[in-house]
C-alpha cells in the first residue's frame, strides 16, 4: 500500500479557503438539528448547495444525457480525451446529493486528469433502497462499454456514499463475470453500515457534518429499515472480498468521522493484493476535494490523483 504524506499547502487561494467546507457543513448541521419536521424534499435541497464550496472550473462545459436508462451530466473539459471516462457517483448518504451538486467537483477532477466524466443521478433512498444505486452504476458502465468505451478506460469514482458505490460497482461487475474498470477512486468513502469505526468517536468534535445519528437515518433508508443486512458486501464493501479489484485510490480528511472507513478499506485491499494508495490529509473535513479552486489542500489532492492516474 502506498500512503501519501499530508500535502503542504501551496501559494494561492490555499489555506485561506480551507474553512469553506467546515462553514457550509456547520450551517447545514444547524438547519438539520433545528428543523425536526424537515421533509425529504427540503433535506435534498439543502445538500444541493454542496457545489457552493467549489469554484467553477474554467474551460469545462456540461451536457445532460441519459445513459443505460440513468440520467446524468457530462463534464467535458476542453481538449479532454473522450475515450477516457470517469463514472462519477455522487455522495449524500444514498438519499441526497445529485449530479448538479457534484458537477463542478467532477469537472475539476476530469480536467486535471484530461478526461471526461459522467455524473449519475442514480435512484436514491429511501424510495429506492439498496441495491438500486449499484444497479444504476452497473447499467451506465455496461452502456458505456456498449458504446465502444473500453472497460479499462472507465474509472469508477465517487465521494462518501458515492465512494462506496465506486467500489461496489466493480464488485458487482465481478460477480456478473463482466470486465472491470481500469481504476477506482473514492473520496471519503462511507462503507460501514454498522458504524464501528473508531474515528466516529475520536473525531466527533472536529467533524462539522457527519454524526452517528445522521448516519443511522441514512442507513435506515438505504437498508430498507433493516430488511437488508448491514454486512451485505455490495452495501458494505468492508465485508466484501476485494481481491482482483483494479488499482484503488482512497482519501479522507484527518478531522472527519469517516476517516477510518478509508483506512480500514485500504488495509483490507492491501491484504487482498490490490494496488492501493491511501491519502489522509490533516485538518480536512468530509470530501475535502469539494474545495477545488478554493483551497490549496483540495487542489493539491486532485493534482496527486492526476499523477497517480497517469503513472
Grid coordinates standing for 218? 441514512
CA distance 276 to 210: 25
3-state helix, strand, coil in the chain (%, to 5): 40, 20, 40
Grid coordinates standing for 17? 479557503
Residue 279 is among the residues annotated as catalytic for this protein = no
What SS3 class is residue 232? Answer: coil
Residue 5 is among the residues annotated as catalytic for this protein = no
Helix (H) and strand (E) counts in the chain: 9, 9
CA distance 143 to 51: 27
DSSP letter for each residue of 10-28:
PSSSGGGGTTHHHHHHHHH
The residues pairing with 3 across neighbouring beta strands, listed in sequence order, are: 278
Helix (H), strand (E), coil (C) string for 236-292? CHHHCCCCCCCCEEEEEECCCCCHHHHHHHHHHHHHCCCCEEEEEECCCCCCHHHHC
Residue 286 is among the residues annotated as catalytic for this protein = yes
Q: Which helix (H) or strand (E) holds 206?
A: none
Which is the catalytic residue, given 90, 98, 128, 160? 160
Q: In sequence order, which residues have a C-beta less than 8 Å from that of residue 20 and are 6 or more positions away?
A: 53, 291, 294, 295
Which is the catalytic residue, given 256, 279, 297, 301? 256
Cβ–Cβ under 8 Å, residues 98 and 71: no
Count CB atoms within 10 A of the CB of residue 61.
Answer: 10
Which is the catalytic residue, given 286, 296, 297, 301? 286
> Looking at the annotation, which residues are catalytic?
160, 256, 286
Amino acid at each position: 500500500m502506498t500512503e501519501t504524506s499530508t500535502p503542504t499547502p501551496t501559494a494561492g487561494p490555499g489555506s485561506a479557503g480551507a474553512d469553506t467546507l467546515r462553514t457550509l457543513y456547520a450551517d447545514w448541521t444547524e438547519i438539520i438539528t433545528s428543523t425536526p419536521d424537515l421533509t425529504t424534499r427540503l433535506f435534498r435541497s439543502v445538500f444541493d448547495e454542496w457545489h457552493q464550496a467549489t469554484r467553477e472550473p474554467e474551460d469545462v462545459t456540461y451536457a445532460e444525457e441519459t445513459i443505460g436508462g440513468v440520467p446524468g451530466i457530462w463534464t467535458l473539459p476542453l481538449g479532454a480525451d473522450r475515450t477516457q471516462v470517469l463514472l462519477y457517483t455522487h455522495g449524500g448518504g444514498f438519499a441526497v446529493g445529485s449530479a448538479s451538486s457534484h458537477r463542478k467537483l467532477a469537472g475539476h477532477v476530469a480536467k486535471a486528469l484530461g478526461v471526461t466524466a459522467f455524473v449519475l443521478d442514480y435512484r436514491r433512498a429511501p424510495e429506492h433502497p439498496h441495491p438500486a444505486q449499484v444497479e444504476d452504476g452497473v447499467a451506465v458502465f455496461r452502456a458505456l462499454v456498449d458504446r465502444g468505451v473500453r472497460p479499462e478506460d472507465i474509472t469508477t469514482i465517487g465521494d462518501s456514499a458515492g465512494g462506496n458505490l465506486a467500489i461496489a460497482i466493480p464488485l458487482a461487475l465481478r460477480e456478473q463475470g463482466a470486465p472491470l474498470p481500469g481504476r477506482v477512486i473514492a473520496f471519503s468513502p462511507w462503507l460501514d453500515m454498522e458504524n464501528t469505526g473508531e474515528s466516529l468517536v475520536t473525531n466527533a468534535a472536529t467533524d462539522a457534518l457527519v454524526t452517528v445519528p445522521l448516519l443511522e437515518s441514512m442507513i435506515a433508508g438505504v437498508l430498507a429499515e433493516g430488511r437488508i443486512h448491514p454486512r451485505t458486501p455490495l452495501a458494505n464493501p468492508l465485508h466484501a472480498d476485494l481481491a482482483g479489484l483494479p488499482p484503488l485510490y482512497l482519501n479522507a480528511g484527518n478531522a472527519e468521522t469517516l476517516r477510518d472507513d478509508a483506512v480500514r478499506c485500504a488495509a483490507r485491499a492491501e491484504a487482498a493484493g490490490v494496488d492501493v494508495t491511501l491519502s489522509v490529509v490533516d485538518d480536512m473535513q468530509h470530501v475535502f476535494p469539494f474545495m477545488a479552486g478554493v483551497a490549496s489542500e483540495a487542489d493539491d489532492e486532485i493534482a496527486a490523483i492526476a499523477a497517480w492516474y497517469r503513472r
